[in-house]
Each structure stands twice: as C-alpha cells, then as structure tokens.
Amino acid sequence: MAPKTKPATKPRLPLSRDRVLDVAVAFADERGIGSLTMRKLGEELGVEAMSLYNHVANKHDLLDGMVDLVFGEIDLPPTAPTGRRRCVSGRRRYGRH
C-alpha cells in the first residue's frame, strides 16, 4: 500500500494592511462595495475574518483605507494643476474603480 501524502497547498502570503486594502479594493471593483463584508474579504484572502482585525480596526477603518488607497492613485502634474486638470486626472483613476 502506498503511503498517504498530504495534498499540496499553496503557501499563504502573509497579511499586511496594504495587502488587505489592495484585495478589498479589487473585491469592491469586481462585486460592488455593498457586497464587501469582513467575512467575504477574509475568504478572499484565505483567512478567518478575525485575522483582518490585526490590520484594520473595523470596517470603517477598512473603508477609510480603501479611499486613501484610491485617492493616492491620482497623478497630479508636477506644476500647479488647474482645477480642470485635477478633475481629469481624478476621473481617469476613479473610472477604474
């Protein structure tokens, strides 16, 4: 009889606040912000929902971090941008989300 072997498992990437926020934004982009729960986010990351609370205080903190992440993607021109140029840059970034 052949010896039993454990099924191969993918090594799990360590959690970090950045990884939690990145996956949360991607989840919201795909499925809508209304469907985002801590439990579903944990499933997406392959962890229990309670593990997320080591990286975000609560769902409000998660949402704030997501907004900061998306706002940080706006590329502002190096010179003082006009209101219109700022809006165009923001629109490009938010169109992705």
Range 62-69, long-range pairs (CB < 8 A, 24+ positions) = 62/20, 62/21, 62/24, 62/38, 65/17, 65/20, 65/21, 65/24, 66/21, 66/24, 66/25, 66/28, 69/21, 69/22, 69/25
Confidence of residue 20 (pLDDT cuts 50, 70, 90): very high
More confident residue, 75 or 41: 41
* pLDDT tens readout for residues 36-55: 999 999 999 999 999 999 99
Report the predicted TM-score, pTM, of the whole model to 2 decimal places: 0.72
Mean pLDDT on 54-76:
92
